[in-house]
Amino acid sequence: MAEVRLDGLIKYYDDVLAVDDVNLTIKDGDFVALLGPSGCGKTTTLNLIAGLIDLSDGEIWIGDRDVTDLDPKDRDIAMVFQNYALYPTKTVYNNLAFPLQMRKTPKNAIDERVRKTAEMLSITHLLDRLPRELSGGQQQRVALGRALVRNPRAFLMDEPLSNLDAKLRVQMRAELKRFHQTLNATMIYVTHDQLEAMTMADNIAVMSDGRVQQYGPPEEIFYDPANLFVAGFIGSPAMNFLHGEISTENGVTSVKGDPGWVYPLTPANAQKASHCTSGRIIIGARPANLILSREEHPGMIPGSVYTVEPTGDTTFVHITIGDQIYVAITDPFFRAEPDDPIWVDLEDDRIHIFDEATEEVLREDGLNSQSIHGKKTLQPA
């Protein structure tokens, strides 16, 4: 296993800039998820690492080797494809054996490896079947097996679970995580499913528009988003964003919301807001950090109930403030009628302050260490 380093990767498809200056170091033995919405360049990045497509600029290092100009077969990586890409005319056994045969492994060693891998994945009874005689989940295992059968320097996986049903996905997620832990393998895992990324990865690289927006452990991505995109992309239901203007009266800094509300900031949050250059900020508050009240209290934001969705464990309350709808998570027994007046308070030490102009998070010390501008190789924190 080895460290993988991406240095200023750029990929143009004709005029389309698919990957825009990606710098990442994936530590030896790390499970890194490339997470982002559809079309953000995850697959392209993975294919660049694999050597399946040519890059426009940048360097790729695997371990202490510069593999930028090497063929895929010389990079010593294994890959699991979204649609499995099993060889349709080969039996499961031969699918697993193929990467070893291509590397001129002796026959009995191949047999041993194939059987061991099949056992690990519980597919021994399927070895004589053709891929089309397997269920989706079984094909997925075989595809995984074809990667695990070798000892590559890194595993690349492109949404390997996306074709499975919800239940199987949860099960395979746990299995994958176990494999990673037992093999101590370097894995780069592409997904657009934040739950997969959050549950499995040691570090997550959140991508958007071909750029890495933030790179760090799941907790950091969730609790300390670097910018508006990461804040809005991670978490379900999504974070609420309240836009407003900063104003200071009698030494108290408040945010004047667009539809006429005023929300006073704590000294710590005021300190963050003081770094704002444009005078307008966005307050980011996760649904769980909204506190609802039926009575008016000073410093709360007035709104009205839009609808109430009980989900069992919790209840989602949609609230209209001005012309925007926000979501709060409340206790499971909260009930209200549409258009009931309601007041919203925020958990002040859990909210995030963003500069409306730059969409970057504002911190107390004014520094945003995770801001990804400039050519700098990101090390996970």
Partner 1 sequence: MAVSAPQQATGQVATRNRREPKNVFQRAYRQWADYTYIMPALLAMFFVIAYPIAYTIYLSFYSTPTAGENVWNGLTNYTSIITAERFWMITQNTMYWTIVSTILAFIIGTAAALVAQREFIGRGLVRGIFLIPWVISHVATAYIWVWIFHSDYGLVSGMLMDLGIISSPLVILDSTTWAMPALILVNVWKDFPFIMIMMLAGLQTVPEHLLRAAKIDGASTWAQFRHVTLPHLKGVIIITLLLTIVMNLNHFTLPWIMTGGGPASSTHIWITEVYALAFRSLRFGIASAFSVILFIIMMSMAYFYVKAMTAGDDRRR
Q: Which residues bind Mg ion (CB under 5 A)?
A: 43
Of 13, 87, 116, 293, the residue at the interface with partner 1 (CB under 8 A) is: 87
Dihedral (Cα; 34, 38, 41, 45), 10-degree rounding: 40
Per CB under 8 A, 171 contacts partner 1: no
Name the helix (H) or strand (E) containing 253: strand 252-257
Size of the site for partner 1 (CB under 8 A): 22
Shortest Cβ 160–partner 1 spacing (Å): 13
Binding partner of 44, given ligand ATP, Mg ion, partner 1, none, CB within 5-8 angstroms per partner class: ligand ATP
Query: Residue 252 interacts with ligand ATP (CB under 6 A)?
Result: no
3-state helix vs strand vs coil in the chain, percent to 5: 30, 35, 40
What kind and span of H or E run contains 92? helix 92-102
78 binds partner 1 (CB under 8 A): yes
Instruction: Output 144 or 336, the one with its CB closest to Mg ion.
Output: 144
Fill in the amino acid letter for 206. Answer: V
- Closer to partner 1 by Cβ: residue 146 or 286: 146
Check if the beta carbon of residue 184 is closer than 8 Å to that of residue 29: yes
Q: How far is CA 131 from the centre of its chain?
A: 31
Residue with tokens 């007035």: 302
Distance CA 204, CA 26 (A): 10
Is residue 88 involved in binding partner 1 (CB under 8 A)?
yes
188 near partner 1, judged by CB under 8 A: no
Distance between CA atoms of residues 264 and 33, nearest Å: 38
**Residue 40 interacting entry, from ligand ATP, partner 1, Mg ion, none, C-beta within 5 to 8 Å by type:** ligand ATP
73 makes contact with partner 1 (CB under 8 A): yes
Tracing tokens 């934001």 back to the chain, one arrives at 301
Q: How far is the CB of 366 from partner 1 (least distance, A)?
A: 46
18, interface contact from Mg ion, partner 1, ligand ATP, none, CB < 5-8 Å by kind: ligand ATP
Instruction: Decide if residue 90 touches partner 1 (CB under 8 A).
Output: yes
Per the structure block, which two tokens stand in for 206? 């959140």
Of 291, 347, 284, give the one whose Cα is nearest residue 317: 291
Q: How far is the CB of 37 from ligand ATP (least distance, A)?
A: 7
For the bound state, the minimum distance from the C-beta of residue 155 to partner 1, rounded and expressed in Å, comes to 11
CB 264 within 8 A of CB 299: yes
Count of residues making up the chain: 381
Does 98 interact with partner 1 (rule: CB under 8 A)? yes
- Tell me if 252 sits within 8 A of 229, measured CB to CB: no
The item of Mg ion, ligand ATP, partner 1, none sharing an interface with residue 83, based on CB under 5 to 8 Å by kind, is partner 1
Least gap, CB of 146 to partner 1 (angstroms): 7
Q: Which part of the chain contacts partner 1 (CB under 8 A), choosing from 28-36, 45-53, 287-295, 355-363?
A: 45-53
Total chain residues near ligand ATP (CB under 6 A): 12
Q: Which phi and psi angles does 358 have, rounded to 5°? A: -95, -15
Query: How many Cβ atoms are within 10 Å of 251's Cβ, its own excluded?
Result: 7
- Tokens (6 digits) for 43: 């697959």
Closer residue to partner 1 (CB): 126 or 234: 126
Report the site for ligand ATP in 181-200 (rule: CB under 6 A).
192
Window 27-66: residues binding ligand ATP (CB under 6 A): 36, 38-44
What is d(CA 193, CA 187) in angstroms, rounded to the nearest whole number? 17
Q: How far is the CB of 38 from Mg ion (least distance, A)?
A: 7
Residue 79 binding result from Mg ion, ligand ATP, partner 1, none, given CB thresholds of 5 to 8 Å by partner type:
partner 1
Q: How far apart are the first and last CA of the chain?
A: 21
Instruction: Copy the structure tokens of residue 296.
Output: 């008016």
Q: Which residues bind partner 1 (CB under 8 A)?
A: 50-52, 71-73, 77-79, 81, 83, 85-90, 98-99, 102-103, 146
